[in-house]
Amino acid sequence: MTSHAQPTLLISNVLPVRPGDQAYNDICMRLWDRLIQAAAPAWRVVREYAQEDGAEGATLRAQDADAIIIMGGEDVHPSLYGASQGYEAEGRHWYRADLGQIALVEYAVRTGTPLLDICRGMQIINTALGGTLEQHIEGAHGTHTNNRILSDHRFIRHSVRVGKGTNLQRALAHVLIDSELVISSAHHQRVARLAEGLRVSAQAPDLTVEAIESLDAPVLGVQWHPEDPAADISQLRALLAHLDARRAPRLEHASTTLVA
Q: Which residues are catalytic?
A: 119, 225, 227
In contact, 76 and 187? CB cutoff 8 Å: no
CA–CA separation, 253 vs 128, rounded Å?
35
In contact, 166 and 179? CB cutoff 8 Å: no
Peptide bond into 41 cis (omega under 30): yes
In contact, 163 and 169? CB cutoff 8 Å: yes
3-state SS assignment for residue 90: coil
Secondary structure letter of residue 132 according to DSSP: -
In contact, 88 and 193? CB cutoff 8 Å: no
Give the closest residue to 82 by CA, choosing from 5, 187, 181, 193. 193
Rounded to a whole number of angstroms, the CA Rg of the chain reads 18
Residue 46 phi, psi dihedral angles, 5° rounding: -125, 130
